[in-house]
Structure 1
């Protein structure tokens, strides 16, 4: 999974910040590593440097393989809380999305060529064979 970190002009996008955000995202979303191609993190200061409640915003967009992107946003009084809150929201959203996909796959009817369909066909052939054997022996 590739992680990109972007910040606006009011947040200094230092190497330390990028490293910290990347490490946080990577450690908390590592179980989705095989399902995600890229995670994009946007950091924004809504009040442009002035103090204010919930003026730091973190938006994270995750791109699952073969699916539409998933995006979450979290606002908080500090960048730390905004990033942690957004990661938690994304973790929940991805767990929900991948859980739904697993349930759909488990409940999907078997198609021709799949193991269950082959077993079903084998059972029918075996029943036909046994019925023919009974007719011949009678």
Structure 2
């Protein structure tokens, strides 16, 4: 599973950030490893330098072999919260997708 972490101009991307979130994805989505070809994470700060409640955005796009990509978005006051909430959503979608794939075979 290829994992790519992207940030907008308002969030600094670092090796530490990339390593942390990549490890979280690998651990949390490990059981779907045979389905997933690629995961892209996009972080953004909707308000730039201004403070705003729930202005950090995390979009996670999962590419599943021979299926349409799945994308979820979450907003929170930190990128970590937005990431974990989006990851929970992705896991639910993948659970449903995996279940449907098993029913069809």
TM value normalised by structure 1: 0.74
Q: Aligned runs of 1:53-132 on 2, under 5 Å?
A: 53-105=53-105
TM value normalised by structure 2: 0.97
- State the superposition RMSD in angstroms: 0.7
Q: Kindly name which structure, 1 or 2, has the bigger radius of gyration based on alpha carbons.
A: 1
Q: Deviations over 1:58-111 (max 9, x none)?
A: 000000111110000011111110010111100000110110111122xxxxxx
Q: Return structure 1 stretches of 4+ with deviation > 6 angstroms.
A: none
Higher strand fraction (1 or 2): 2
Count of equivalent residues: 105
> What is the distance in 2 between the residues matched to 1:27 and 1:57?
22
